[in-house]
Amino acid sequence: MSTQEGTTDRADATPGTPAADLRGRVAELHALRERVEQGDERATAAQRSKGKLTARERIGLLLDPGTFQEVEPLRRHRATGFGLEDRRPHTDGVITGWGTVHGRTVFVYAHDFRIFGGALGEAHAQKIHRIMDRAVAAGAPLVSLNDGAGARIQEGVTALAGYGGIFQRNTRASGVIPQISVMLGPCAGGAAYSPALTDFVFMVRETSQMFITGPDVVQAVTGERVSIGALGGADVHAEVSGVAHFAHDDEETCLEEVRYLLSLLPQNNRETPPAALPEDPVDRPCEALLDLVPADGNRPYDMRRVVEEIVDDGEVLEVHERWAANVVCALGRLGGQVVGLVANQPLVQAGVLDIDASEKAARFVQMCDAFNIPLVTLVDVPGFLPGVDQEHNGIIRRGAKLLYAYCNATVPRISVILRKAYGGAYIVMDSRSVGADLTYAWPTNEVAVMGAEGAANVVFRRRIRAAEDPEAVRRQLVKEYRAELMHPYHAAERGLIDDVIDPADTRRILVESLRMLRAKHADLAARKHGNPPQ
C-alpha cells in the first residue's frame, strides 16, 4: 500500500455566500460542477505526462456519447488527522455512475489518480459499494477503470474494510452480472484481488501493473531484483500468469475492445446474449476447411483459421490469446447468435491439454454457462501432457476443473471431432458421455484410448518382441489396430457420435443444431453450490 501525494482541491474550494434567488443558486451549482469536472490543472498535466488519460476521458471513451449519469460527484471524506481535514476534494478520488454501451445500460466506476493518487478511503469505498449494489439491482454489467495507489494509509483500517466490502460484492455478483476490470495504472496489494474476482481483466502495456508485493518487498524478502513491468506488467499477466485476459498498447484500443466484449455479453444471468442479424449466409459452405486441416493427424495447422472460417464474417474475440495457447477460447457468432468456442490448437504442443490449458478452458466454460452462452467445442487432442512437473503440480485436480465445468454446464453444448480424440482428454473435451447435447465428427476423426502406435506397442508387445522382424510386425499390427478400432465410423457405429459430416457443412449444421437447442432447459439438483476441484 502506498502513500498519497497527488494534487487535490482544498476544503476552501467550497462555494461562497449563496446567491439570493434560485437562478443564482443554479448558476452556483453549475460553477461548482464545472470545477469538479475540470479538476486540478497541475494534477491533470501530471497524469498526461505519464501517457495516461483522466478518469473522465476514459469514461467518455467507454460509454456512448452523452449518456453518462454521474452519482455522488460532490461526495467528500470525513477523515481527520495527518492533514486530511484540510484536503477534502469532491468525488474523493473515484467517479461513479452509469451510461450506455451500444444502447444498453452499463455501470462504471473510475479511480481518479489526480486525487489522492486514486487511493481508497471510507467515502471512496462507499461510493463504489453503492454503484456495485445498483448494478446488481438493475441487472446490468459493471466496468471498473482501475488506476489507484491502494488503500489510503491516513484512514487506516477503515480503508481496508472498504476493500472487504468490494470483494464481498464482487463475489455476490459473480455469475449474476458481467464484471469487467480495466487496469489503467497501478494495482497493488489487496486491491489486486477485486480484478481477480471479476470475469475479465484488461491491461495496458507500459502504464498498468498488478502485484501483491512490489519489487522492493520482493528484493527484501527473497533477494530477487525485478522491475515493476517484469513483476506485474501487462505482458507478464497476459502470457505467464494468466491474470489478464487481454493486453493492449493504448487506452483507446483497450476501451474499444471492452465495448466490443460488452456487445457479446448479456446484461445479466437471466437474459441471453444480444442477437444480431447475420449478413453471412447461414448455409455458406466452408470448402476452405478441406484444405486447412490435414488428414494426417501428426501434421499441425492453425485452429484459429478453422474457427474464423466457421463463425459469422470470420469475427471472433479470443480470450487469453497468449496464455496457454495450446487451447483456443473465443466468443463469436453463428447465425447471429453469440457462442463460446473451445478448441485444441495443434500449432502449440500438438494441442495437448496441460494444467494451464485446462484451467483456462474451465474458467471460460463456466463464464459461458453463467451467462447463457452456448458452447461449441472443436476437438483435436492427443491427450494430457505427460511429465513429472505436470503430475507434481496437480494435473489430476487441475485438469478435473475442465471436466467439472463441462459436466456442470446446462447451456446448449455441441462438440465436433476434427481428428484425434484420445484417452481421458477425449472425455474431458465435452464428449457425449459427459453431457454434450450433440457430437459430430469429420471423416478424419480418430476416437480411441490412445494412438495406434502406442496401443499396438502395449497390446502386442510380447508378439512384437518375439518376432524375427519386430519392426515389420509392429507396423503390420499398427495398421490392423487402426483399421479395426480407429476408422472414422467406429464411434458412430457405437452411438458415441451423432453423425459423421462433411467438413464443408460444419457451419450450417452448427447453426441449425443451435437453433434447435435454443429452448433447452436443464434442471440441476438443489444445492447451495458445488465443490469444484481446486
**Active site residue ranges:** 189-190, 424-425
Q: Hunting for cell 489518480 — which residue is that?
A: 113
How many CB atoms are closer than 10 A to CB 69? 10
Q: Which three cell numbers stand for residue 517?
A: 437447442
Distance CA 357, CA 354 (A): 5
Q: Are 90 and 124 in contact (CB under 8 A)?
A: no
Paired strand residues for 368: none
Distance CA 435, CA 534 (A): 22
DSSP letter at 239? I
Question: What dihedral do alpha carbons 373, 375, 376, 382 form, nearest 10°?
Answer: 140
Closest by CA position to 200, among listed 176, 212, 183: 183
Distance CA 116, CA 100 (A): 28
Paired strand residues for 413: 375
* Residue 284 half-sphere exposure toward CB, CA atoms < 13 A: 16
Distance CA 297, CA 451 (A): 10
Q: Which three cell numbers stand for residue 82?
A: 495527518
Q: Which three cell numbers stand for residue 371?
A: 451467462
392-395's contacts with Cβ under 8 Å and 24+ in sequence apart are 393/355, 394/355, 395/354, 395/355, 395/358
Q: Are 323 and 240 in contact (CB under 8 A)?
A: yes
Q: Which three cell numbers stand for residue 40?
A: 486540478
Tell me the CA distances in angstroms from 523 to 365, 402, 409, 527, one per residue in order. Answer: 18, 21, 11, 12
Q: Which three cell numbers stand for residue 503?
A: 467438413
Pairing state between β 413-422 and 246-248: unpaired
Distance CA 119, CA 143 (A): 18
Q: Are 101 and 62 in contact (CB under 8 A)?
A: yes
CA dihedral (295, 301, 302, 308) positive or negative: negative
For residue 77, give every residue at least 6 positions away whose Cβ sits within 8 Å of its Cβ, in sequence order, or none. 84, 88, 92, 121, 122, 123, 124, 155
Cβ-based burial of 494 (10 A; exposed 0-12, middle 13-18, buried ≥19): exposed
